[in-house]
Amino acid sequence: MRIVVSGGGTGGHIYPALALIEQLKARNLADEVLYVGTSRGLESKIVPQAGIPFKTLELQGFKRKLTLENFKTIRLFLKSVREAKTMLRNFKPDVVLGTGGYVSGAIVYAAAKLHIPTVIHEQNSVAGVTNRFLSRYVDKIVIAFPEVASAFPQQKVVLAGNPRAQQVANLVPNDRLAEFGLDPKKRTLLIFGGSRGAPKMNQAAVSAFPAFEGQDFQVLFVTGRIHYQQLADQVTVPANVKMVPYVDDMPAILPDINLIIGRAGATSIAEITALGIPAVLIPSPNVTGNHQLINAQSLVRGGAAELIEETKIDASFGQRIVTLMNSEQKLNAMSAAAKELGTPDAADQLIQVLESVMK
């Protein structure tokens, strides 16, 4: 299979693409792979580091307000479509996959116009602007949440999950927590607000320190690099809490986590359901369509998570977490429910869709 993959802007678009490529290579199905992104996006660092051939297009997203800058956006899109067609004619792919972000709009649209088989993947419960636009042109639309199906032409939709789930599904408990001065054999709570950290989640965690102190479990609190030093200078950390700025390989420690307090992005949801990790989800309110809240509600309905909105964090937060951590029966039930919602073969299912449109 000669495949062009495109997704950019955020890790939520990039990591599913990389997981799919990894599985294609593991199954010896990838004859040639080309990843198309932007020079400014996160993909420009992550993809080359993964050893995947990488080319760029120059695009930008639309501004929500009426502005002359949007005329530049249209001009860049049309220019990029022309460049994408040249790129595709040279590479001669069997199929093109878009995983979101405005860069995927140009390359997938160009592929459709050249009558190359096309597939898009929507990771969230609310459809992104680019995928909504592309849905009328592509052959198939793969989704991770059933809630988003109504945003697309029904005859094109396939529910297959997020390839990131398959990438982590086989991880097993290990001793990586020892690297942070924690006991790998002890029950562990992880608090993680994303790679940049989340100030309100950090505040909630610090307010819970008195409730955590002396408990028969340990806490790994990941603040985000830009917030770490300020917190380190201001707070006294209990003996059973380890506060760190960042974890370079987060998936590696997840099998040893008994409960996670975190955001509700697509990648996080895929990981915790694949591994069956109970979660208290605090969705980011600063995302398109409030999709993290809807992502989280999907897990709550399935019994896999509890939901706390940022604006509703109060003085009872710490005790609520302690009660949950000390309720083995509740955690076991949430873990089982999370696994029921997981899609440990999501990458293979997406590959089946790619193969089907190539026939």
Residues 291-318 have pLDDT tens digits of 999 999 999 999 999 999 999 999 999 9
Candidates 189, 208, 190, 203; CA nearest to 234 is 203
| Alpha-carbon 219 to chain mean position | 23
- What is the rounded distance in angstroms from the CA atom of residue 295 to the CA atom of residue 330? 21
Candidates 7, 359, 9, 13; CA nearest to 164 is 13
C-alpha torsion 237→239→240→244, nearest 10: 50
**Six-digit token string for 152:** 């697309």
- The lowest-confidence range among 49-63, 110-124, 131-145, 197-211 is 49-63
- What is the rounded distance in angstroms from the CA atom of residue 74 to the CA atom of residue 72? 5
Residues 90-110 have pLDDT tens digits of 999 999 999 998 889 999 999
Q: Which residues fall in the annotated binding site? A: 10-12, 124, 195, 292
Q: Report pLDDT for 77.
A: 80
Q: What is the 3-state secondary structure (H, E, C) of 273-329?
A: HHHCCCEEECCCCCCHHHHHHHHHHHHHHCCCEEECCHHHCCCCHHHHHHHHHCCHH
Across the chain, mean pLDDT equals 93
**Six-digit token string for 340:** 């029921």
Q: Are the C-beta atoms of 282 and 212 separated by less than 8 Å?
A: no
**Six-digit token string for 137:** 């042109």
Find the mean pLDDT for residues 74-78.
80
Candidates 251, 232, 257; CA nearest to 182 is 257
Q: Report pLDDT for 146.
A: 94
Q: Are the C-beta atoms of 273 and 285 separated by less than 8 Å?
A: no
Confidence of residue 40 (pLDDT cuts 50, 70, 90): confident
CATH architecture of 169-341: 3-Layer(aba) Sandwich (3.40)
Reduced to 3 states (helix: H, G, I; strand: E, B; else coil), residue 19 is: helix
CB-based burial label for 5 (10 Å; 0-12, 13-18, 19+): buried
- DSSP bridge pairs for 243: 221
Q: Are the C-beta atoms of 94 and 84 separated by less than 8 Å?
A: no
Q: Report pLDDT for 63.
A: 54
Asked whether the domain spanning 169-341 has the same topology as the one spanning 2-162+345-357, the reply is: yes
At residue 74, does pLDDT exceed 80? no
Confidence of residue 65 (pLDDT cuts 50, 70, 90): low
Q: Report pLDDT for 286.
A: 85
Percentage of the chain lying above the pLDDT 70 cut:
96
Question: In the chain, what are the domain boundaries?
Answer: 2-162+345-357, 169-341
- What is the rounded distance in angstroms from the CA atom of residue 247 to the CA atom of residue 224? 9
Reduced to 3 states (helix: H, G, I; strand: E, B; else coil), residue 181 is: coil
DSSP states along 202-258? HHHHHHHHHHHTT-SSEEEEE--HHHHHHHHHH-PPPTTEEEES--TTHHHHGGG-S
- What is the rounded distance in angstroms from the CA atom of residue 133 to the CA atom of residue 130? 5
Residues 259-294 have pLDDT tens digits of 999 999 999 999 999 999 999 999 999 887 899 999
- The lowest-confidence range among 55-64, 75-84, 306-315, 324-333 is 55-64
**Six-digit token string for 145:** 């949440």
Residues 177-228 have pLDDT tens digits of 999 999 999 999 999 987 677 899 999 999 999 999 999 999 999 999 899 9
Q: Report pLDDT for 66.
A: 56
Strands of the sheet with 32-37, listed across from one edge: 54-56, 32-37, 2-6, 95-98, 118-122, 140-143, 157-159
CATH 3.40.50.2000 assigned to 2-162+345-357: yes
Q: Which residues fall in the annotated binding site for UDP-N-acetyl-alpha-D-glucosamine? A: 10-12, 124, 195, 292
- What is the rounded distance in angstroms from the CA atom of residue 169 to the CA atom of residue 212? 30
- What is the rounded distance in angstroms from the CA atom of residue 168 to the CA atom of residue 251? 7
